[in-house]
Amino acid sequence: MLQLILGGARSGKSRLAEKLAAGSQLQVTYIATSQPLDGEMNERVAHHRARRPAEWALIEEPLELARVLRENASSERCLLVDCLTLWLTNLLMLDNLERLTAERDALLDCLASLPGEIIFVSNETGMGVVPLGELTRRYVDEAGWLHQALAERCQRVVLTVAGLPLTLKGTAL
């Protein structure tokens, strides 16, 4: 089963994804896409680590998400990817459109063949004002297109607001 958990900053999306992964009764592998490059991001990473069960495996991969999914997906495993918008940011910061396109397409193309359960977490950023800068507008556009394509392929899509899940597609939580 493929699930997409969307929400704003501090909406409870990661906590919900972790709850779903824990409830899957499968071995859980947490795939972290962040690159903690400053003190504030290090604090966020530490907060996430402290919440996770010690028995969960961890893979840190900022760019090659499709490869990691193909290598680790299993019918006995739940993969939790947190988060797609950080992954997208990492690719955008490379300033290489071909690489961004190749990695995004590889992700979308591999989903149908992956066994097991996969839970994606991502920030819903396109619900506010249009950003002023070119890079931030491109980020919002790319995230929106990615979310639409992923939601089309997922069996369940949930929007989390104020810690409350609103099921947009699939069986309600």
d(CA 42, CA 83): 15
List b or e across 53-86, with b for residues whose CB sees 16 or more CB atoms inside 10 angstroms: eeebeebebebebbebbeebbeeebbbbbbbbbb
Contacts of residue 110, Cβ cutoff 8 Å, sequence gap at least 6: 66, 69, 70
Inter-CA distances, 170 with 8, 41, 95, 154, 163, Å: 21, 33, 36, 9, 19
The residue from 15, 44, 48, 70 that is catalytic is 48
- Whether residue 27 contacts residue 169, with contact meaning beta carbons closer than 8 Å, is answered with no
- Token pair listed for 101: 């396109």
Query: Is residue 48 among the annotated active site residues?
Result: yes
How big is the chain, counted in residues? 173
- Whether residue 81 contacts residue 110, with contact meaning beta carbons closer than 8 Å, is answered with no
In this structure, how many other beta carbons lie within 10 angstroms of the beta carbon of residue 109? 11
Active site residues: 48
